[in-house]
Amino acid sequence: MTEALSPRRRLALAVSAVVLLILLAALLAPLSPQLLGYARGLQFAVVAGALIMAVAFLVAIPLGTLAASGPRAFDAALRFVCDLFSSLPTLFVAAVFWAWADRSLSYVCALGALRGLEQAWLLRCEIVRLEAEDAAAPHSLGRTPLLAFLKLRLPAALGPLFVSASFSVAWLTALDAALTQAGLRPHAALPTWGLELAEPHGSPLGATLAAGSVALLTVSLHALFRPPRVT
């Protein structure tokens, strides 16, 4: 969809979406308490979404790289851990994180680490695929193996990670809404979009705004994170 747009335009698109949402929240917040909840939800979604993306990348890149290029035991270990977490609904894992974490920061970091594990597997599969096809081989001539890996193969393999990362805000909101709806959120102190969406007696306007904002943020992040190409 966004292949035709230049990187600068794509960045501008994403930034303007966030600015638009912030302006909308600033304008609507004083009107009613429900809309104030929406504005606070935006703050949480943006900060927590960014944090989740950062933690996930920090976890995924070294783990995925090691699993693909390191010792075989490491690969088996990553697969085992991924199997472990993917055999249960994320909802339950998030419920336990929510109960375990004393502060929302720990909760968000734990979710980021969980997301990092999923993305590590994506990265590992992509690196293995590229190695099998040897897609970057002609470009790596004259470079050391490490440099060739860092400059060519790793950036080329980051595509699925970027796509996955663009859904971070949506993923977080979905989990939060699911936790609230399932009655597994032990305390509802944090005003989030998930709460707005899942509260049975919440404001319809707030819920619609929240759902629309999640979609807009995701679309703009989706547009921003175009898979890189080896040139």
Binding residues for other proteins (CB under 8 A): 1, 72, 75-76, 79-80, 82-93, 95-96, 99-100, 117-119, 121-122, 125-126, 128-129, 131-133, 156-157, 159-160, 163-164, 167, 169-171, 173-175, 177-178, 180-184, 186, 194, 197-198, 200, 207, 211, 214-215, 217-219, 222, 226-227
CB of 165 to other proteins, least distance (A): 11
Q: Identify which of 103, 102, 113, 91 has the alpha carbon closest to the alpha carbon of residue 184.
A: 91
CB of 211 to other proteins, least distance (A): 5
Q: Is 14 or 170 the residue whose CB approaches other proteins more closely?
A: 170
Q: Identify which of 216, 31, 165 has the alpha carbon closest to the alpha carbon of residue 208.
A: 216
Q: What is the maximum alpha-carbon separation in the chain?
A: 64
First to last CA, the chain: 20
Residues 19 and 39: their CA atoms lie apart, in Å, by: 13
- Three-state secondary-structure class, residue 35: helix
Q: Is 39 or 171 the residue whose CB approaches other proteins more closely?
A: 171
Q: Is 62 or 227 the residue whose CB approaches other proteins more closely?
A: 227
- Three-state secondary-structure class, residue 230: coil
Q: Is 61 or 207 the residue whose CB approaches other proteins more closely?
A: 207
